[in-house]
Amino acid sequence: MRYERTRQLFGADHHRLQKAKILLLGVGGVGSMALDCLYRTGITDITIVDFDTYDASNMNRQLWSELHVNEIKVEALKTHYPAVTPLNQKVDAAWIEQFDFEPYDLVLDAIDDIHAKLALAQRCYKKLISATGSAKKIDPTQVRVDSIWRSQGDPFASKIRRELKRRKFDRNYRCIFSAETARTKEKGSFMGVTAAFGLAMSSEAIQQLLRNK
């Protein structure tokens, strides 16, 4: 059976996981791996939101990208994960302001836009899990999950904390970050790290769902 091994791990809780409703923002290197992991676990009621198309530069880190060059990402992923709800939409502060997050148990943020990340934190921090910078690094063992206020070693996360403070935001939410020092100033990326971010995000999501009985 498809979920036999998963049920052996989660027991009766697996049925609860299958009822979860997830909003996944961004399906690039981090988001595509989080999607794959959650879906294989049995969490299939997932709305995926992204506005981009696949190109050759995505092939080093984004699942299925080599099969769908020039295709819209969310629509291409629907062919591999048929139960998902695809939304071809740019996630920006204006969209976040008007979108209804209430139906979702968790919001997974795998986008790159700092303004959108800040808007998400202010709008739905209680159900938010946010990825910070996964580029420029090669060591997946330094990927961590913790409070946004305890993130370290990541200039992008530092900018987020600084701006949240400026906005007088003092709430808490979980984030994925790497303490590894960046190896380049360019936007180079390694799937060993981007995938680790996505897997850590899916693990944190599952743990939160299990805690929220």
Q: What is the pLDDT of residues 164-201, one digit of tens each?
A: 999 999 999 999 999 999 888 888 999 999 999 999 99
Which residue type sits at 35? L
Token pair, residue 169, equals 């935001």
CATH assignment of 4-211? Answer: 3.40.50.720
31: nearest Cα among 75, 69, 61: 61
Cα(121)–Cα(162) distance, integer angstroms: 13
Instruction: Name the helix (H) or strand (E) containing 94.
Output: helix 93-98
Which residue matches tokens 């060591």?
139
Burial class (CB in 10 A: 0-12, 13-18, 19+), 51: middle
Tell me what pLDDT residue 186 has: 85
pLDDT digits (tens, 9 = 90+) for 201-210: 999 999 999 9
Q: Which residues contact 74 (CB under 8 A, 6 or more apart)?
A: 27, 48, 49, 50, 86, 87, 88
Could you tell me if 69 and 56 are in contact, meaning their C-beta atoms sit under 8 angstroms apart? yes
The per-residue pLDDT of the chain, averaged, comes to 95
d(CA 206, CA 43): 9
pLDDT at 125: 97
Work out the percent of the chain whose per-residue pLDDT is above 70.
100
Q: Which pLDDT score is estimated for 58?
A: 87
What does the DSSP assignment read for 40-73? HHT---EEEEE--BB-GGGTTTSTTGGG-BTSBH
Is the Cβ–Cβ distance between 154 and 178 less than 8 Å? Answer: yes
What is the reported pLDDT for 32? 97
Inform me whether the pLDDT recorded for 62 exceeds 90.
no
Distance CA 128, CA 110 (A): 11
Q: Per-domain residue ranges for the chain?
A: 4-211
In whole angstroms, how far apart are CA 19 and each of 45, 46, 85? 8, 11, 15
For the chain, the residue count is 213
- Tens of pLDDT, residues 105-156: 999 999 999 999 999 999 999 999 999 999 999 999 999 999 999 998 889 9
pLDDT score of 69 more than 80: yes
- Smallest Cα–Cα separation from 118: which of 99, 96, 133, 137? 96
DSSP secondary-structure letter at 106? E
Q: Which amino acid is at 128?
A: L
Residue 213 pLDDT class (50, 70, 90 cuts): low
